[in-house]
Amino acid sequence: MRYGQRGGYTPAEQKRRERLRLGAAGRFEDGQSTKDVARELRVHERTVARWRRAWLEGGVEALRSKGPVSPEKLSDRQWARLEAELNRGPLAHGFGDDQRWTLARVKTLIGKLFHIGYTIEGVGKLLRRHGWSVQVPVQRAWSALRRPSPPGGRRCGRP
C-alpha cells in the first residue's frame, strides 16, 4: 500500500502505518466490522475498507509496506553533507539578498555539490522525508513549540 502524503512517510512512519495495517488484518480475521476496526485504530472507515479489500485479494502480504515510491538519489553521506551546508546558511553559498532557504536554492545547492538533478517538488519531498519542514528544520520548530507561551498572550507561529 502506498500513501500520497506530500513527500512520503519517513521510514519510522512507514513502519507505524504497516503495524496499523497488520493489526487491522488480525481484526479482519476475527470478523470485526470495518466501522469497529476504524474506531479502534483511529483511522477513516474508507481507509479500513481499502485495507480489507487488499487483505481479501492478497492476504496479510498485501498489507505490508512497499517501501518508498522511489529510492533517494542522495546517499547518507551526501545527505549529511547537504544538511551541514544548509546549516551554514544561504549567505555562505552566495545567496545574499535574503537569509532564507527556498526549494529553488536548495535544488541549486544540490546540483553544485553533487551534480545531481532534482525537481523543486523532489527537493521538498527530500527535505520532508529527512525531518525538515519547508520553512525551518522540524527539530527547531518543535523546540520552539515546547517553550511556554508568553504571559497573558497566545503565541503566533514565530519562536
Residue with cell 498485501: 62
- Say if residue 154's pLDDT is above 80: no
Q: Among 14-23, 72-81, 93-102, name the one with the lowest average pLDDT.
A: 93-102
- SS3 category, 42: coil
Considering the entire predicted model, what is its pTM?
Answer: 0.50
DSSP per-residue codes, 65-81: ----SS--SS-HHHHHH
- pLDDT one-digit tens code per residue, 36-65: 999 999 999 999 999 999 999 999 999 998
